[in-house]
């Protein structure tokens, strides 16, 4: 079922939304990492990726895949949840 959001790909607000989501996810990953007491270097070693990649993800500057998100979830021990913006979207 198509909705009005399908046309937002060309809308400038869409780019802002994507950036905001990326920044929010990166910030949450950083908070969880710090709460666990892991440095970026330590987490990068565990995940077998570069520390620079961790930094870019945490700062919302890297378009990462669901595979990366799954790795973060595994190594930092958190659940991934998807929820609607509001109840009316269902």
Residue partners of 38: CB distance under 8 A and separation at least 6: 46, 76
What contacts 84, CB < 8 A, 6 or more positions away?
A: 90
> Whole-angstrom Cα distance, residue 89 to residue 1?
12
Chain segment 35-62, per-residue pLDDT in tens: 999 999 999 999 999 999 999 999 999 9
User: What is this structure's pTM?
Assistant: 0.80
pLDDT for residue 72: 97
Q: Which two tokens stand for residue 61?
A: 């500057």
> pLDDT exceeding 70 applies to what percent of the chain?
86
DSSP 18-37: HHHHHHHHHHHHHHHHHHHT
Which two structure tokens, joined as six digits, stand for 64? 């990462």
The token pair at 78 is: 């958190």
């Amino acid at each position: 079922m198509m909705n009005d959001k399908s046309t937002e790909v060309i809308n400038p607000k869409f780019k802002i939304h994507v950036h905001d989501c990326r920044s929010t996810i990166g910030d949450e990953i950083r908070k969880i990492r710090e709460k666990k007491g892991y440095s970026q270097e330590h987490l990068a070693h565990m995940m077998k990726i570069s520390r620079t990649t961790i930094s870019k993800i945490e700062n919302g500057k890297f378009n990462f895949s669901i595979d990366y998100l799954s790795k973060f979830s595994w190594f930092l021990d958190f659940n991934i949840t998807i929820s609607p913006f509001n109840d009316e979207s269902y």
